[in-house]
Amino acid sequence: MAHFSRRLLNMAESETLAMARLSRELKAEGKDIINLSLGEPDFDTPDYIKQAAKDAIDQNFSHYTPVAGYDELLDAICLKLKRDNNLDFKRSQIMVSTGAKQCIANLVMACIDEGDEVIVPAPYWVSYREIIKMAGGKPVEVLAGIEKDFKVTADQVEQAITAKTKMFMFSSPCNPTGSVYNYDELESIVKVLAKYPDIVVVSDEIYELINFVGAHISIGTFEAVKNRTVTINGLSKAFAMTGWRLGYLAAPEEIAKACIKMQGQFTSATCSIAQRAAIVALTNGPEKVSSMVTAFKKRKELAHSLLSDIPNMTVNNPQGAFYFFPEISYYIGKSVGKYTIGNSDDLSMYLIHEANVSTVPGSAFGAENYIRLSYATSEDLITKAIERIKTALLNLK
Ligand code: PMP
Ligand code: GLU
């Protein structure tokens, strides 16, 4: 039998990807599964970006690129960060990777040692916890439930800080809740972080453009944390380019260099063709993708009204991203047929097998008693899926 490392054995499989795999397997068996598990836009990549990739192939952009990415792309990222986020960066502070996920992995591997602590407001995106653990670090989870719209307070953050705290890592708009921190909330957290100048702030802004409340605020614009904030973003969500695998980070130069060194041993760089397309995507700005955002908003409203109609489930009203994170504790302990729902994992399994709807259990995001529903799918499928969920939940006694 093969030997596996402790690193691997201590690590959980990505639950979002596991549920997506299970959906595919059941579909292949002929089941009519509606997939609300995987967080990815159902739109096609816009034509002007696809054309840039085709041109790049014809122009033979087929060699290894610099590890950090093509200079023109680093410049386009600096331009975007200034134009959209009021953040000042130069080429030497940017790294392009195979997705925002790889940016986070490089960063954590480069900066976290055995026993170091990383504060992660929960619910958090599924991979933060496992990447931190992989590096030997300790995720310190600070929970905010639906009653607080899933947003942690500055006091909670301060109470979690110890001499071992190295990072504070969060996403806004948030995956899995869709919550968005407003200016005042960010400012109060910054006031706490200002007292601890060695803590690196990691701001995952991959849902920046899918925001229904107006302008996006980057925590890196606050003076007190400006010089120690790592801003992470990518093309997967806003430009419907999940498969292209392109994300980037902007950091203090020494951190960017450390991440690039790490990347040089892991992946060399991301795909040359995706990089050329990214130059065009980022240079053109957010206006070109605003129709997708409008569609997400409409779907959100539809899903919200349908979910609100399900008895004994509390539904949040997300301000960004494309997820709902309803509270389902009423259904814990209930049964039907061979199913007894002991936790959110059981509920997700029940829903996929009996309602043919795939979701992700809240446990994957550090919050039991919730499930995550992605509404990045058509209005018809959203309607059908929520009807099925409702029927299945009402069958539980
Ligand atoms: N951060 C968050 C909050 C996410 O939801 C995701 C998943 N899309 C990622 C990072 C990783 O995105 P990607 O690797 O596709 O750029
Ligand atoms: N980030 C998306 C999600 O949360 C895609 C899957 C993943 O990378 O985890 O569903």
Interval 89-99: pLDDT, tens: 999 999 999 99
Q: From 17, 128, 325, give the residue whose CB has the most ligand 2 atoms within 8 Å, as the site to mutate.
A: 17
Structure confidence by residue, pLDDT tens digits, 107-122? 999 999 999 999 999 9
pLDDT of residue 194: 98
Read off the DSSP letter of residue 205: -
C-alpha 78 chain-centroid distance: 22
Segment 44-49 shows an average pLDDT of 95
- The pair of three-digit structure tokens given for residue 200, joined into one six-digit string: 């690196």
Q: Which atom of ligand 1 is nearest to the CA of 39?
A: 8
What pLDDT digit, counting tens, does each position of 197-219 carry? 999 999 999 999 999 998 899 99
Average of per-residue pLDDT values in the chain: 96
How far separated are the first and last CA of the chain, in Å rounded?
44
Closest alpha carbon to 174 in 194, 203, 201: 203
Whole-number pLDDT of residue 101 = 98
**Closest Cα to residue 236, out of 223, 228, 245?**
245
Beta strands 371-374; 360-361: pairing state: antiparallel
pLDDT at 285 over 90: no
Show the ligand 1 pocket: residues with CB < 6 angstroms: 39, 99-101, 125, 171, 175, 204, 206, 234, 236, 242, 247
Q: Say how far apart CA 207 and CA 213 lie, in whole Å.
A: 13
Is 17 touching ligand 2 by the criterion CB < 6 Å?
yes
User: What pLDDT does residue 215 have?
Assistant: 85
pLDDT band at 289 (very low <50, low <70, confident <90, very high): confident
In what order do the strands lie in the sheet containing 360-361?
Answer: 323-324, 371-374, 360-361
Are the C-beta atoms of residues 162 and 133 closer than 8 Å to each other? no
Please give the domain boundaries of the chain with CATH numbers for all domains. Answer: 6-44+290-394 (3.90.1150.10), 47-284 (3.40.640.10)
pLDDT band at 390 (very low <50, low <70, confident <90, very high): very high
- Distance of CA 47 to CAs 2, 3, 229, 321, Å? 46, 47, 34, 23
